[in-house]
Amino acid sequence: MSYKSNLERALSEGRFAVTAEIGPPKGSDPNKIRQKGEILRGCADAFNVTDNQTAVVRMSSMSGCCILLEMDLEPVMQIACRDRNRIALQSDVLGASAVGVRNILCITGDHQSFGNHPGSKGVYDVDSIQLIQIIKNMRDQGVFQSGDEILSGKPFVFIGAAANPFADPYELRVDRLEKKIEAGVDFIQTQSVFNVDKFNMWMDEVRSRGLDKKVHILAGVTPLKSLKMTERMKFHVPGVDIPEEIYDRMKNTTDPKKEGYETALDLTREIKKVKGVHGLHITALFWEDIIPSLVKESDLLPRP
């Protein structure tokens, strides 16, 4: 079988996959990407490069992916509908495929009011579900969204998307996942899992519909670095569910980094036991140097 990417190979062959996030800098220094890439080398099957995460201007995901490709590291290019219409989105998909990007993660994007240009105009010409369908048709049928034929090279990409098992309205979360599967998504990366009980409820419904057999699910893990970070995520980031038990652990410890790491390790071990989960997506939020230890102590090394 001809796999589109190393990530697709790992998931298709039944290995427990690992992806890790590399946040681009608020500037044009390529060494910021290179430094993070070297820290994470050998720790994951592919590396997400975020697309103006939380609506804050950063180096483009496309550029970050090109830097990782030069380092012989496999990127996952995130692409947000917030900032582009369907013309630009399809153009970026062709461009990414042309330079060797083989994984693309489709997201609608955080609203611009959360970022550092709150007066900017959100595009939202299409949402992530529509974008998945557009890319699938470009890849499999060789047609643009308009119906025009792609004349010189269909994009050869593994299509991903995000899922949040914790956002409101909760009862629609699995419905939205199912729509993404119907649109043609290949893999899913979830919001960071802190509430394992609620995640298990979501996965129970996923399994009951047989959706875990139709898409590869990678559960999100985020090591908490400080009480300030914990409180920001618990009280100010929509869709994040940090139980009181974890909050109390971070609030009462004298060593927040150690406690955050141990909590992430505990969560990782619990998530690995959940039937239907095919891997982890580790988002360290500018604490990338903790990931190698976390992966090693979770018995996820060596990566093939």
For residues 267-294, give the mean pLDDT: 95
Mean pLDDT (the chain, rounded): 96
Q: Is the pLDDT of residue 288 over 70?
A: yes
Classify residue 304: in a domain, yes or no: no
Q: Indicate the pLDDT class of residue 59, thresholds 50, 70 and 90.
A: very high
Residue ranges making up the domain that contains 135: 6-297
Neighbour tally for 74: CB within 10 Å: 20
State residue 1's pLDDT score: 67
Show the tokens assigned to 289.
């140097």
Cα 91 to chain centroid, rounded: 21
Domain membership of residue 302 (yes or no) is no
pLDDT tens, residue by residue, 27-58: 999 999 999 999 999 999 999 999 999 899 99
Rg of the Cα trace of the chain?
A: 18
Q: 285 falls in which pLDDT band (50, 70, 90)? A: confident
Bridge partners, residue 220, by sequence: 192, 281
Work out the pLDDT band at 114, boundaries 50, 70, 90. confident
Residue 17 lies in a domain: yes
Q: Within a domain: residue 303?
A: no
Residue from 69, 68, 90, 67 nearest 79 by CA: 90
CA dist 261 and 247 (Å) reads 14
Cα 244 to the chain's mean position, in Å?
A: 25
Give the pLDDT confidence of 68-104 residue by residue, as tens digits: 999 999 999 999 999 999 999 999 999 999 999 999 9
pLDDT at 85: 98
Residue 52 belongs to some domain of the structure:
yes
Three-state SS string across 196-207, please? HHHHHHHHHHHH
Check pLDDT > 90 for residue 237: no
pLDDT at 271: 98
Give buried/exposed letters for 148-174 (b at 16+ CB in 10 A, else e): eebeeebbebbbbbbbbbbeeeeeebb
Split into its structural domains, the chain has a count of: 1
Cβ-contact 73, 21 below 8 angstroms? no
Which helix (DSSP H) or strand (DSSP E) does residue 3 occupy?
Answer: none
* Model confidence at 218: pLDDT above 90: yes
pLDDT digits over 154-198, tens only?
A: 999 999 999 999 988 888 999 999 999 999 999 999 999 999 999
Q: Look at residue 41 and tell me if it is in a domain.
A: yes
Structure confidence at residue 6 as a pLDDT band (50, 70, 90):
very high
* Residue 125 token pair: 């010409």
CA 115, CA 106: separation in Å to the nearest integer? Answer: 19
- Domain containing 11 — which CATH number? 3.20.20.220
